[in-house]
Amino acid sequence: MIQLLSWNCQGLGRALTVQRLGELVRSQAPSVIFLCETKQQSHRLNILRKKLGYHMGEVVNPTDSAAGGLALWWRPDVEVQVIFKCPNLLDSTITVKSEGILFRASWFYGPPYMQDKPQFWASMNNLATNDRHPWVCIGDFNEFLNNDEKEGGIP
C-alpha cells in the first residue's frame, strides 16, 4: 500500500508553509505528493522537491502570480506517467512497483472563475471515458452546492 498526500497549500512562498510541508512529509512519508495553488514557478518547486527527497516530479506553472500552479512529486517506489496536463489538471497512471498495481489518478484544482468551469468539466468528462483502470480523482473541485458553503475568496 502507498500513501498519497494532496494539499491546497495556498502558496509555497512563505517559510512557515514550506516548513509545514516538510513536517507532513516526515510524519506521513507519502510516495506521491500533489500540491495545488503553489503560486510558484517550476525552478523553485524543483529545488524544494529535491530537498524533501522526491526524485521525480511534474509541475504546471501558475498562469499568474496571484493564483494557480500544480506540483506532482513521487518517490522511486512508484512509477508515475503524466498523460495530460493543463492549468487545472494533471492526469496520470501510477504503478506501485512492489505490488504490481496500476491505477489512474487525476489531480486537480478546479477553476475558481465561472467562465472556466465548463471547459474543466468537459476535460474531466473526457478523462472518465478514456480508460478502464481503477481511477481516483484527488484535489479541489472548487464547486459548491449552494452559496452558504462559500467563505471568502472570489464571489
Domain extent for 115: 4-149
Is position 154 within any domain?
A: no
Residue 151: the pLDDT is 67
Is position 155 within any domain?
A: no
Q: What is the mean pLDDT of the chain?
A: 91
Residue 37: the pLDDT is 94
User: Of the candidates 7, 4, 1, which has an alpha carbon nearest to the alpha carbon of residue 29?
Assistant: 4
pTM of the model: 0.90
Classify burial at 123, counting beta carbons within 10 Å of its beta carbon; exposed 0-12, middle 13-18, buried 19 or more. Answer: middle
Task: Report helix, strand or coil for 24.
Answer: helix
Task: Report helix, strand or coil for 27.
Answer: helix
- Total domains present in the chain: 1
How far is the C-alpha of 147 from the C-alpha of 92, rounded, in Å?
32
Is position 109 within any domain?
A: yes
